[in-house]
Amino acid sequence: MCDRRFRIYSQMNNVRMVAIALILVIGNQVLVPSWAQNTNTTQKETYVGDAPADPGEIAKDVSGALRPHAIEHVVRKVADWQLSRAQSHFNQDWTYAALYRGLIAASRATGDNKYEDAVKHASEQFEWKLGPRIAFADDEAVAQSYLHFYFKSHDPSMIAPTKAAFDQTMSAPQDVEHQDAAKPLWWWCDALFMAPVAWVELSTATENPAYMDFMDTQWWITSGLLYDPKDSLYSRDATFLDRHEANGQKVYWSRGNGWVLAGLASVIETLPANDPRRPRFIKQFQQMAERIASLQGKDGLWRPGLLDAGAYPLPEVSGSAFFVYAFAWGLRNGVLDRKKFLPVVRSGWKGLTKHVYADGRLGSIQPIGAAPGAYGPSASYVFGVGAFLMAGAEVDAFVSTTHSQAVLH
């Protein structure tokens, strides 16, 4: 019988809050109890990743070049590795919802439907249901996959549970698990990736503008609380508004801002082209993109604490991948300046590929948490892999639509 023990991952610093992610380890697999994270309280312990002491060698057959063949090769390599390990654990949690976005994107990039088919099969097994908590963004994240499949088949059963849950939320938009009326519905910045795009897409699917209006209202309530226009960055939640790094700078979590920037790209892409709300979202996207690009490390990646990079020994791949995804999306859609952001994407993608191991493992991913924390080079978690696959597919799409390869190199 496997030895069971608890590990506490923390970033220790005398002047910063200790960020703790409590992880249950069974063998070399990491299982996260529901009470240790923002996840379904009724859900059984779920595999989300691991961090073996010996992950093997870094891949030698991977290139960070901005060429379709090279990009598609590494996307396939990482997707195959993750699918083989995670498919039997598929569930409706936010951790896997991010992976599903990545797997669907991997099928688009590689032309291999097996990744998307795996997500569709799981969605059917879930009977297209969300997580159990009403009005909780983490439990709505899986709706992004359901809506993807709905737009391909227009089968109303695929979105019926989502519509029912969203209707209930609109009728009483108070987070049922957090009854403090001073807190907005989406009180943590990660929520801006989890829920908003599904609200926009449901509005399109049902031709009901109420869902889009609701999303718009809730987004800017959250932004008003957590977004600092001077720094052009989001605090993770209100408890971080006055927390500081060892160097005196405010604590801005890399992955938290990655969730937001990727959420902005997704919302802008799904809003109708003539929607009068688009310019406001684009403005915030551009402001954040400028600031985040200025914080890129020499290795092309970002550290877990954005304004105190020197305090963290390793780059953080999940946040970095969300940034690269958003920047590549911005370039492909003409929202970001090519001269300024193409070098950021080139360096960022190259940096990400350096954390792929020979077997396809993607490392240097911070475990579940709410602030900059500690992890090792082998640490791999499904949500970070999802972000990487999204980034690879978006970089591939951008490269494939750029006619002159000379411009890219």
CATH code for the domain in which residue 159 is found: 1.50.10.10
pLDDT tens profile 36-58: 344 443 334 579 999 999 999 99
Q: Helices 254-270 and 382-400: crossing angle, nearest 10°?
A: 50
Backbone angles phi, psi at 253, to 5 degrees: -80, 130
Give residue 174's pLDDT band: very low, low, confident or very high (50, 70, 90). Answer: low
Of 174 and 193, the one with more pLDDT = 193
| 394 within a domain of the structure (yes/no) | yes
pLDDT digits (tens, 9 = 90+) for 306-359: 999 999 999 999 999 999 999 999 999 999 999 999 999 999 999 999 999 999
Report yes or no on 73 lying in a domain: yes
Q: Is the per-residue pLDDT at 251 higher than 90?
A: yes
Task: Tell me which DSSP letter residue 58 carries.
Answer: B
Residue 181 located in a structural domain: yes
Q: Is the pLDDT of residue 367 over 70?
A: yes
Report whether 397 contacts 106 (CB < 8 A).
Answer: no
The catalytically annotated residue of 50, 93, 138, 190 is: 190
Q: What is the pLDDT of residue 183?
A: 74
Higher pLDDT, 297 or 171: 297
Q: CB-based contacts of 95: which residues, under 8 Å, 6+ apart?
A: 32, 39, 46, 48, 368, 381, 382, 383
Average per-residue pLDDT in the chain? 89
pLDDT at 45: 57
- Is residue 41 one of the residues assigned to a domain? no
The answer to whether the beta carbons of residues 314 and 249 sit under 8 Å apart is no
In the chain, % of residues over pLDDT 70: 85
Torsion of CA 362, 367, 372, 374, to 10 degrees: -80
- Rounded Cα distance between 397 and 393, Å, is 6
| Rounded Cα distance, 120 and 87, in Å | 12
pLDDT for 13 beyond 70:
no
> Who has greater pLDDT, 173 or 227?
227
DSSP state of 271: S
Q: Taking the model in full, what pTM does it have?
A: 0.89
* β-bridge pairing 380-381 and 29-32: unpaired
| Axis crossing angle, helix 143-153 with helix 196-206, rounded to the nearest 10 | 30
Give residue 182's pLDDT band: very low, low, confident or very high (50, 70, 90). Answer: low
Average pLDDT over residues 260-289: 98
Q: Is the pLDDT of residue 213 over 50?
A: yes
**Domain of 207, in residue numbers:** 53-408
Higher pLDDT, 176 or 140: 140
Q: In this structure, what DSSP letter does residue 111 have?
A: -
Count, in order, helices (H) and strands (E) of the chain: 14, 7
Residue 397 within a domain: yes
Query: What is the count of structural domains for the chain?
Result: 1
Q: Is 177 helix (H, G, I), strand (E, B) or coil?
A: coil
Whether 190 is catalytic: yes
Exposed/middle/buried for 409, CB within 10 Å: 0-12, 13-18, 19+? exposed
32 inside domain: no
- Which residue, among 409, 307, 297, has the nearest Cα to 364 in the 3D structure? 297
Residue 32, pLDDT score: 42
Q: What pLDDT, on the 0 to 100 scale, is given for residue 172?
A: 76
Is 165 a domain residue? yes
Residue 370 lies in a domain: yes
- DSSP letters along 241-258, please? TT-B-TTS-B--BHHHHH
